[in-house]
Amino acid sequence: MDTAAIVSLLDGHPWSRTVRVLDSVDSTNNLAKKQAREGAPAGTVIIADRQSAGRGRLGRDFLSPGGVGIYFSVILRPGCPPQQLMHLTCAAAVAMADATEAACGFRPGIKWTNDLVVGSKKLCGILTELSVSPSTGLVDYAVVGIGINCRQKPEDFDESIRNMACSVEMVTGKAMDRNILAAEMIRAMSRLDARLLTEKSAILEAYRRDCITLGRQISVVRGLSIRHGTARGVDEEGALVVDFDDGTTEAVSSGEVSIRGLYGYV
């Protein structure tokens, strides 16, 4: 991947002025947050070929070897209260499905909230981080970090995730150019930025269409508690509405949700 190739594919797009591709970084989210604190504008994009300390949700590591994935972070500055951004991660997942469809010719599904999957395997993960200004109570910046598997063969994945992960090349069977997908990711994130606060219902409607969790039997893990139920819907804040087997219904917005039949959960 290289900056010049992505800039040329972006063909004058305003965000092409603020894209930077690095060979290696600890975490593109860490660097994007540092740049956001130093005043970098919305639309600043950092892409790395590898990460030495990639981070996933729930404090997990995100393995980020060189030459095979896209590790991507973008700074947004919506300037609203954080309560108005509950749907940001859902919006980012739809944007990534759009980018994958445009660049790679297939549309992944979304496992609530923010994994892109093909069949029963994970293609992409998203980590969103917000900073709120203590003086105004408004969001100072949001960093959306995306890691997508592109060129891996099954044997390239660590044994611990091999039967739960896939890559674009494993899906299409064709060699891919990561610059093309990176450029589509930038276009999709910029469209998201333009409609995030004004088209929330339409974004969530698109999310529901892509969400493979709906109608499935799931388990919700929070600390030591594990509850089983059926995923019934996604509400207007992006929370998963679950009919639990004990007869209660709740909107779940945190915790880990496993789907029966996916990622080895039986």
Under the binding rule (CB under 6 A), the answer on residue 167 touching ligand BTN is no
Under the binding rule (CB under 6 A), the answer on residue 43 touching ligand BTN is no
| Interaction pattern, residues 129-158, with ligand BTN; x per rule: CB under 6 A | ----------------xxx-----------
**Sheet containing 115-118: order of strands:** 19-25, 45-51, 69-76, 139-149, 121-132, 115-118, 109-111
Under the binding rule (CB under 6 A), the answer on residue 55 touching ligand BTN is yes
Residue with Cβ nearer ligand BTN (15 or 62): 62
- Do residues 213 and 112 touch, judged by C-beta distance below 8 A? yes
| CA nearest to 71, candidates 185, 191, 207, 163 | 185
Minimum CB–partner distance for residue 135 and ligand BTN (Å): 28
**In the block, which residue shows the tokens 């060129």?**
151
Handedness of CA 44, 51, 171, 260 (dihedral sign): negative
Minimum CB–partner distance for residue 151 and ligand BTN (Å): 15
Tell me the CA distances in angstroms from 180 to 2, 71, 102, 129, 166, one per residue in order: 11, 14, 9, 26, 19
Instruction: Please select the residue that binds ligand BTN; options are 1, 44, 62, 182, rule is CB under 6 A.
Output: 62
Instruction: Please select the residue that binds ligand BTN; options are 21, 96, 116, 126, rule is CB under 6 A.
Output: 126
Under the binding rule (CB under 6 A), the answer on residue 56 touching ligand BTN is yes
- How many residues contact ligand BTN, by CB under 6 A? 19
Residue with Cβ nearer ligand BTN (57 or 232): 57
Under the binding rule (CB under 6 A), the answer on residue 125 touching ligand BTN is yes
Give the Cα separation of 227 and 220 in Å (integer): 5
